[in-house]
Amino acid sequence: MSQEELIAVTTFCTSHNIEVTFIRELAAYDLVEIINRDKEEFFCSSHLPEVEKMMRLYYDLEINMEGLNAVHHLLKRIDELQHEVTRLRNRLP
Amino acid sequence: MEYIDYYKELGLDKNATPADIKKAYRKLARKYHPDLNPNDEEAHLKFQRINEANEVLSDPEKRKKYDQYGKDWEHAEAFEEARRKQGQSHNSGAAGGGYRQYTYTGGDAEDFSDFFESMFGGASGRRSRRTGGFRGQDFNAELHLDLREVYTTHKRTLTVNGKNIRLTIPAGVENGQTIKIAGHGGEGANGGPQGDLYITFVITNNTEFRREGNDLYTEADLDLYTAILGGEITVPTFDGKVKLKVKPETENGTKVKLKGKGFPVYKKEGHFGDLYLTYTVRIPKNLTEEEKKLFEELQKHRR
């Protein structure tokens, strides 16, 4: 993984004006993976959309960490089901 | 332009307290938030409406103005103007007004209704809890293509938000499939990366073939004599006609598989699905007397 693909946790949190502990908590719930490098914490840029989504749900809708965990799994399931629906719809004459 | 009942949007009545409004908004936002309703345009519109209702009702100034004019909102500006003039004559220079601040923040600001714009003059940006931002906005686009167009890999130039994007559309793309074009969304802020562009393919099929994944299905007419005696017929495939041998005594509704004559497999160059042909045996019409006699002969042989 190249350096460009990593987002510093502090940079992200400062930009959004949120606590660094939020990302650490997400990591504790396996919702993001924190990578330690040169005594600094990073996460992979491919996780960025998901992290931002969790941030909106947490701060804007006041959904707690346990709720985020459940939401994460349900959204994944919705995504799978939507694909299945599209596939089945395409089979209809 | 229609009057919008913001209280109704939040399921409240006019006596609602700020706490009631906050509670109702939170409840509905959790239900209709776009992050919780992926690909649901209806939920997205509903979310915009409750956002707008909250914008008005949770702001004491806006709520006061909205309550005051209610259904007479169209005259609000005229009333305001008259009042301002009156006020000026009594109290020179103190005409604060401040309603029509055309400070539309644009960009990621919510789309507010014409009704809102007319009454309040645009989003105030008050709703953004966290200033700044990081990753750019994601863009969504739909690309309408014909089934014939996705039979081969081809290049397209799309214009998204004024920028030209050259795109390779691989053969075999499915109807409803979404692809991500990384980094072609909105600009990031504070050193954050650009958002992504999501393109959903809407594929219309005006061909005689039904597509099921990589396989194609179609029907072919078979005259009675070829069906009985066997022979050779020409059948349509997606990229042209082919000659096909028909076995003697082929029944109506017989399905034959033409291997590799289906649709290209997505991102697997040179791989194709299969084509399934169903025969419809056509019975001869308007028989001549002689033909009738011959069929009768045949009938006797079968008795």
What was the ipTM of the complex prediction? 0.87
- Check residue B94 and give its pLDDT: 31
Could you tell me if residue B129 is inside a domain?
A: no
B184 and B88, same domain (yes or no): no
Domain boundary among B204, B226, B260: B204
B219 and B190, same domain (yes or no): no
Q: At B24, which CATH number?
A: 1.10.287.110
What pTM was computed for the model?
A: 0.72
B96 and B17, same domain (yes or no): yes
Amino acid in the structure at residue B206 = N
Tens-place pLDDT, residues A26-39 = 999 999 999 999 99
- Check residue B105 and give its pLDDT: 26
HSE, side-chain direction, 13 A CA sphere, residue B178: 15
B20 and B110, same domain (yes or no): yes
B22 and B104, same domain (yes or no): yes
A63 touches chain B (CB under 8 A): yes
Contact B176 A86 (CB under 8 A): yes
- Check residue B150 and give its pLDDT: 95
Could you tell me if residue B130 is inside a domain?
A: no
B15 and B111, same domain (yes or no): yes
Tens-place pLDDT, residues B106-159 = 233 357 888 888 788 765 544 445 556 788 888 888 899 999 999 999 999 888
The size of the A-B interface in CB pairs under 8 A is: 71
A8 touches chain B (CB under 8 A): no
Enclosing H/E stretch for A42: strand A40-44
B148 touches chain A (CB under 8 A): no
- Check residue B108 and give its pLDDT: 38
B208 touches chain A (CB under 8 A): no
Total of domains in chain B: 3
Residue with the bigger pLDDT between B85 and B245: it is B245
Tens-place pLDDT, residues A8-22 = 999 999 999 999 999
Could you tell me if residue B132 is inside a domain?
A: no
Residue with the bigger pLDDT between B294 and B83: it is B294
Q: Which among B130, B177, B210 has the least Cβ separation from residue A18?
A: B130
B190 and B259, same domain (yes or no): no
**For chain B, percent of residues with pLDDT exceeding 70:** 83
A3 touches chain B (CB under 8 A): no
Residue with the bigger pLDDT between B51 and B100: it is B51
Mean pLDDT for B205-232 is 95
Task: Show the domain range for B253.
Answer: 210-302
Could you give the 3-state DSSP secondary structure of residue A30? coil
Contacts 24+ apart (CB under 8 A), B196-200: B196/A49, B196/B138, B196/B139, B197/B138, B197/B139, B197/B140, B197/B141, B197/B160, B197/B165, B198/B138, B198/B139, B198/B140, B198/B141, B199/B141, B199/B142, B199/B143, B199/B158, B199/B167, B200/B140, B200/B141, B200/B142, B200/B143, B200/B176
Could you tell me if residue B126 is inside a domain?
A: no
B185 and B236, same domain (yes or no): no
Q: What's the Cα-to-Cα distance from B34 to each of B37, B38, B56, B221, B296, rounded to whole Å?
A: 5, 6, 21, 50, 71
B195 and B230, same domain (yes or no): no
The overall average pLDDT reported for chain B is: 84
Q: What's the Cα-to-Cα distance from B198 to each of A77, B87, B123, B227, B258, rounded to whole Å?
A: 20, 53, 27, 50, 35
B163 and B148, same domain (yes or no): yes
B84 and B48, same domain (yes or no): yes
The position carrying tokens 């100034």 is B61
Q: At B173, which CATH number?
A: 2.60.260.20
Which chain B residue lies closest to A62 (C-alpha atoms)?
Answer: B26
Distance CA B195, CA B137 (A): 5
Q: Which among A45, A89, A90 has the least Cβ separation from residue B193?
A: A45
DSSP letters, chain B, are -----HHHHTT--TT--HHHHHHHHHHHHHHH-GGGSTT-HHHHHHHHHHHHHHHHHTSHHHHHHHHHHGGGGGGHHHHHHHHHHHHHHHSTT-------------TT-----HHHHHHH-S--STT-SS-S--SPPPEEEEEEEETTGGGS-EEEEEEETTEEEEEEE-TTPPTT-EEEETT-SSPPSTTPPP--EEEEEEEE--SS-EEETTEEEEEEEEEHHHHHH-EEEEEEETTEEEEEEE-TTPPTT-EEEETT-SPBPTT-TT-B--EEEEEEEEPP-S--HHHHHHHHHHHHHH-
- Check residue B116 and give its pLDDT: 85
In chain A, residues with a C-beta closer than 8 Å to the C-beta of B30 are: 61, 63
Which chain B residue lies closest to A56 (C-alpha atoms)?
Answer: B35
Tens-place pLDDT, residues B186-196 = 888 888 889 99
HSE, side-chain direction, 13 A CA sphere, residue B285: 2
B89 and B16, same domain (yes or no): yes
**Quick one: B81 exposed, middle or buried, by C-beta within 10 A (0-12, 13-18, 19+)?**
exposed
Task: Write out the two tokens for B32.
Answer: 């209709």
Return the residue in B22, B51, B130, B194 with the most chain A beta carbons within 10 A, the one to mutate for interface testing.
B130
Could you tell me if residue B25 is inside a domain?
A: yes
Could you tell me if residue B227 is inside a domain?
A: yes
Could you tell me if residue B270 is inside a domain?
A: yes
Domain boundary among B178, B204, B230: B204
Contact A90 B192 (CB under 8 A): no
Could you tell me if residue B49 is inside a domain?
A: yes
Of residues B206, B204, B231, B209, the one with CA closest to residue B220: B209
Domains of chain A (ranges, CATH numbers) = 3-91 (1.10.1660.10)
Domain boundary among B173, B204, B235: B204
